[in-house]
Structure 1
Amino acid sequence: MSTPFVQQPNLTAIALGYKNAQFIADQVSPRTPVGANNFKWTEFEAKDTFTIPNTLVGRKSRPNEVEFGATERTDSVVDWGLEDPIPNADIEEARNNPAIDPQGRATMKLSELLALSREKRVADMVMSAGNYNHTETLSGTDKWNDAGSNLIEQISDALDTPLVRPNSLILGQQEATAMRRNASLVKAFNGSTGDVGMVPWEFIRQLFEIENIMVGASRYNTANKGQDMSLSRLWSGGASLLYINPIAGLRDDVTFSLTAEHGERVAATREDGDIGLRGGVRVRVGESVKEVLVAKEAGYYFNAVL
């Protein structure tokens, strides 16, 4: 019978404190705590919320009843976790060298991969036209890296299209570079004196009156185990305008996406006699979360911007 995993406060602190500046999933799909594995959330629908009902009330009559355009959903969090086996030889060596912490290092590596997995899940959700009520596929001179592209007109019209005006722009690194070099934006920044250069993000944010610009720069290996590494960008192919409410709850709040989180990320260890010749310790890092798409109406997606 195997030894059970024991949660380690010092390793849990490392797992909780881990942050990768290139990852934007927690900003795009903010975490919100739930009290159990199963939870309920509200999927937003637009049609009834914006229909004006008859509000006139007679002297002795009841006010008209309304049902808001939302559907209650039931879901459950999913456990995500990874392990790293550490031979006892590494642990013994660390006892004589305080600068070496094999369990802490393993916790960091596992936290990185766990966060990368979540980053891909959120990127796949955001960079998918099927998750929006409003989409546009660019072609020809409309593409952002074309000299004839009027990016200012595209973004301005898109911001005015959803019933909930987006407050955030999400795009990949290559798309971000093309946007900052777009001739229409460069001319607006330079006062029509030139169309070559790089536009500052602050100018773009103020021009379109959006609160946040998030650039996903992370990559992942698409090759199968044993094959040569083949890196691809997680956030690529399009650009999204989203309404993101960082303090929204799962019930009755409008935002593009939220992540239900049961408990916090944890790190635990257990002894394992089957590691190498002299046994060792297994480090496990995991979390229980579920990303949900709350409102398709709270966004606009540009497909194939390059």
Structure 2
Amino acid sequence: MSASHLRKLRGQIDPVLTNLAIGYKQAEFIGEQIFPVVMVDKEGIQIPKFGKGSFVEYETERAVGAASNIITLDKPKFLPIVLEEHDLSVGVDYREQAESLFDEQTKATRRVVSGIQLRQEIETATLLQDKNAYESGHYKDLSAAHKWSDYTNSDPVKDVAEAKETVRAACGVKPNVLVLGAAVAHKLAYHKVLQDMLGANERKLLTPELLKILFDVDDIIIGNAVTAPAPNKQTKDVWGNFAALIVRPKVVPSGNDEGEPSFGYTFRRKGMPVVDKYQEVGGKVEYARYTDIRKVSAVGGACGFLFDKAV
């Protein structure tokens, strides 16, 4: 089934609501800060995986009169990825729209956007906490060592430094981003080892800005989002009891090649997301529908390190 045929099956795309949806992002959602967005033309794609050809040692010295030294580029390996469509819709009765103090269509759009974004957040958190997404040896279960909530015996700075070295040795660059579950970030904010690094007279709450300095990373991202299976059910953390170090590259418009280390990306089809509207119940209920076509994928297991059961 062609993409053009699928577009015709949808209702009338609303550019105003679409712009609202694109600009709306709940503050606690961090998935796309961890896995940068790459726009792609097709739903089925082949992604070049990080290779180590750029690490090969070559003979480069040339004698007078000799031919140039010629090398052969290594062939990239590709990871097949199939994007998935996600959509939600909410109906607004024409009488509700007329009587409400609020713009019900705008409210409906925000609700479906939040629903899709929450699902993306859960998928991203699940992937980041899956030890199978990491290369062998890039995983540590802290329940079998010293959890970071053990202020007397644990040393998170040493643990992170050793993990950074493991990643550097595997992919050539140190991880530049530390991702923390909310409960882990809370415990680290009062950790004795970290407090001592500030000096005896500098006891204070350790903010993410201070933690960036102490752990020597470019960014610290804390997952605060919560979810519930139903409106009357208790909420739970989307981001669990973990910490992860990752290499996050700067995405260039021309595309990153297989020589650019990266733990993962969010692949999104060009033109997405969109909001369209369609009518049912004899035209008296108008539905606002949000559609996104995307896939979150880990493409470089050597470019990350996972700490499980951190507190």
TM-score, structure 2 normalization: 0.85
8 A Cα contact 2:183 2:241, kept in partner = no
61 and 156 in structure 1: CA distance in 2 versus 1, 3 angstrom threshold: closer
Aligned-residue Cα RMSD (Å) equals 2.4
Residue of structure 2 in register with 1:198 after alignment:
205
Runs of 4+ displaced beyond 6 Å: none
Correspondence 1:120-159 to 2 at 5 A:
120-133=122-135, 134-139=138-143, 142-147=146-151, 148-159=153-164
Q: Is the 8 A contact 2:276 2:289 kept in 1?
A: yes
Partner of 1:108: 110
Larger proportion of helix: 2
- CA positional deviation for 1:198: 2.5
CA–CA separation in structure 2 for the residues paired with 1:234 and 1:51: 41
Deviates more, 1:58-67 or 1:162-171: 58-67
Given the alignment of the two structures, is residue 11 of structure 1 paired with residue 17 of structure 2, yes or no? yes
1:254/1:294 contact within 8 Å kept:
no
CA displacement at 1:292 relative to structure 2: 1.9
Match of 2:239 among 213, 226, 235: 235
Residue 187 of structure 1 deviates from its aligned partner by 1.3
Alignment of structure 1 residues 175-186 onto 2, 5 Å: 175-186=184-195
AA at the equivalent of 2:174? R
CA distance in 2: counterparts of 1:12 and 1:267, whole angstroms? 5
Give the alignment partner of residue 85 of structure 2, picking from 76, 79, 83. 79
State the distance in 2 between where 1:105 and 1:284 align.
Answer: 12
Decide which of 272, 284, 288 is 2:289's aligned counterpart.
Answer: 284
Q: Residue 167 of structure 2: SS of its match in structure 1? A: coil
Written as runs of structure 1 = structure 2, the 5 A alignment for 1:265-304 is 265-273=273-281, 279-304=284-309
- The structure-2 alpha-carbon separation of the partners of 1:24 and 1:298, relative to structure 1 and needing over 3 Å to count, comes to same
TM-score, normalised to structure 1, is 0.86
Match of 1:63 among 70, 82, 88: 70
Equivalence for 2:196: 187
CA distance in 2, matches of 1:210, 1:155: 10
**SS of the residue aligned with 2:217?**
coil
Provide the C-alpha distance between the structure 2 equivalents of 1:140 and 1:291, rounded to a whole number of angstroms. 30
Amino acid at match of 2:96: D
2:261 aligns to what?
254
Identity %: 22
Confirm or deny: 8 A CA contact 2:181 2:239 kept in the other structure. Answer: yes
